[in-house]
Amino acid sequence: MEINLTPSELVQLGSRFGISVNSADAEILCQDVIDNIQNLEDPYLTPTLPPTATENRSWQPPQKDPYNAIAISCIVPPSHQGTLSNLKVGVKDAISVAGIPMRAGSEIFSNFIPTSDATLVTRLLSSGATITVKTTLDELAASPRSTTSVDGPILNPHDPNRVAGGSSGGSAIATATGIVDIAIGTDTGGSVRGPASFCGILGIKPTYGLISLNGVVENTYTLDHVGIFSKTVENMALCLDAIAGKDEKDPASMQAAGKDDYKFGGYMESLQNQPPVDQITFGLLEEGFGEGVNTKIESKTRETIDNLSNAGASIKSISIPKLAEHKALKDHISYAETAVHWRARGAPYRKGGSADPFYQSTFTHRAQEKDFKLGRYYKSKLLTGCYLLDENNGQSYTHSQAARSQFTTNFENSMIDVDVLITPTMVGLPPRVEDASNPGFDTGRNTRIANLTGLPAISIPNGKIDGLCIGIQLIGKSFDEAKLLCYANAVQNFTSK
C-alpha cells in the first residue's frame, strides 16, 4: 500500500483529532506513521459485509410529491415469494437498501449509495415484499419536528400547512396516502408513533432489540428502535412476523435474545385468538393526562376509555409521581450518545463491527469538509452532547444510564396488575410548519417513556379534532407484541370518530 503523507499534513491531521504535533515532531513521526500503515495486513482492510447484488434494482427521483414524503422512488423486487407478496413497502431513508441512494435527510450522506442491505430489508424481500420508495425524514432521524430535513418540511396530508411529525414523517404519509401498504420507520423518542398519530394510521415501536438495527443509521443507539406503519393491524402483524428476531450482526438484538422473557413470532396467529375486551385490564396512566395536554385530546381519549369500560373492560388508575423527570433522563442519554457517534465518525463498534464499510468512510470524509453544513437543530444537540461529555468526563452519562435502569424497573412494576397502559399518543395537535421550528416544541411527553424502558408501544387512530388526526397509545409488556396487537385490534372498535 503506497502512502503519501507529509509532515505538514501530519500536523493538520493531529489538529483535527485534538493531538498536538509540532513541526519537529512531525518530521520524526511521519515515517513511523507511514511504516505502521504499510505493515497492516490486507485481511483487516477488507469490507466486513459482502456487497448485495443489485442488478435488478432501479431508482429515480420522485415525480409527484406534494407532501415531501418521498426521498427516492425505486423498484427493489422480492427475493422470494412469501407472506408479504403483492404488498408495497416504503423504507425510511435512514435504512440501507443496496444500490439505492440514501441521504438520511442530511448533506452528510450526499451521493452515498449503500452496498449492502439492512437485515430488516433482507427479511422483507425474503418474505415477498417489494420496496417501492425510500421515505423522507428529519436530519439524521434526530428531530420530531418535520422541518429539519435537507429536503425541506414534511407536510401533513390532512393539512399541508402543518407538519406530519418527525422524524419518520415520510413513512407515515406514504402509508396514510396509499403510496405503500406498509412503511418502516425508526423511533428514538416517538418518531413512529408521533407521525402515525398526526397522519391517522397505526404505528408500532416494538421492544428494544426485537428488530435488528444492522444497516440503520445510528441516532441514539440505546434508544433507537425500528418501527412499522400500517392502516391495519393484520398487515402490521404480517410485517412484524417477517422482520422480528435475533441477528448476530446487531449486539442489541443478541442481548435481547438472551433475556428470560424473550419471544418473537406468531403475531398474525395471535390475532386469530384475540381475547374479548371484557377480559382486558387497561391501566390509565394518570401522568399521561392533565396539565400540558390539549383539553380536546384528553376528552377524546377519555371518551374512548369510557367506551371500553362500558363494553366490560377493566380500567385501573396508575400513577407514577416522578414520571415527568424522564424527559431530562432521556435527553441526557440522547445528547451524549449522539456526540459519541459523531466523535467516532460513525464507527460501527456498537453494532459488532458489522456494517457497510462505505458508511463510515462517507461519514468521516464529509464531516471533515470545511463547507459541510449541519442543520441548526442537529448541531445544537450534537454540541450539547459534547459539552456534557467534556464537562465531567462522561460521568453524568453513566449516572443517567443507572437512573434509567431504576426508572424501567419502577415503571414495569407499576404494570403488574394491568395488561396494558393507555395514554394519548401526542399531547397536542400537529403544529403549523412555522411553529414547529420553535426550540420549545416538544411532542414526546407520552412517547419517550417506551424508548427509555424499551417496552413496546403502539399508536391507534382516535378520530379527529378540527379536521386533524389524533391517536391513542398503548404501552405493553416486554416482548409481548402478540398481545399488544390484539389489544390494539380490540381498542379500534371503541375509538372516537
Q: Are 424 and 446 in contact (CB under 8 A)?
A: yes
Span between the terminal Cα atoms of the chain, in Å: 67
DSSP secondary structure of 30-98: HHHHHHHHHTS-GGGGS-SSPPPP-TT-EEE--S--TTS-EEEEEEE--SS--TTTT-EEEEETTB--T
3-class state of residue 171 by DSSP: helix
**Which one from 116, 143, 167, 230 is the annotated catalytic residue?**
167
253 is catalytic: no
Nearest in space to 284 (alpha carbons), one of 316, 314, 311, 307: 316
Query: What gap in Å lies between CA 378 and CA 167, rounded to an integer?
Result: 12
**Which one from 191, 334, 459, 478 is the annotated catalytic residue?**
191
Q: Return the C-alpha torsion angle 241, 242, 244, 247, nearest 10.
A: 150
> Cell numbers of 52, please?
448485495
Q: Kindly state the helix (H) or strand (E) to which residue 417 belongs, with its residue range.
A: none
Q: Kindly state the helix (H) or strand (E) to which residue 293 belongs, with its residue range.
A: none
Cβ-based neighbours of 387, under 8 Å, separated by 6 or more: none
Query: What gap in Å lies between CA 332 and CA 38, rounded to an integer?
Result: 41
DSSP secondary structure of 219-240: SSTTT-EEEEEESSHHHHHHHH
167 is catalytic: yes
Segments of 314-467 assigned E as strands? 314-318, 420-424, 457-465
191 is catalytic: yes
**Which one from 73, 92, 230, 437 is the annotated catalytic residue?**
92
DSSP secondary structure of 83-127: TTTT-EEEEETTB--TTS---TTSGGGTT---SS--HHHHHHHHT
Query: What gap in Å lies between CA 204 and CA 225, rounded to an integer?
Result: 10
> Cell numbers of 114, please?
449503500
Let me know the angle formed at the C-alpha of 228 by 61 and 128, rounded to the nearest 5 degrees: 70
Nearest in space to 176 (alpha carbons), one of 149, 158, 151: 158
> Cell numbers of 116, please?
449492502
Q: Kindly state the helix (H) or strand (E) to which residue 187 belongs, with its residue range.
A: strand 182-187
Q: Are 196 and 462 in contact (CB under 8 A)?
A: no
Query: Would you name the residues annotated as active-site residues?
Result: 92, 167, 191
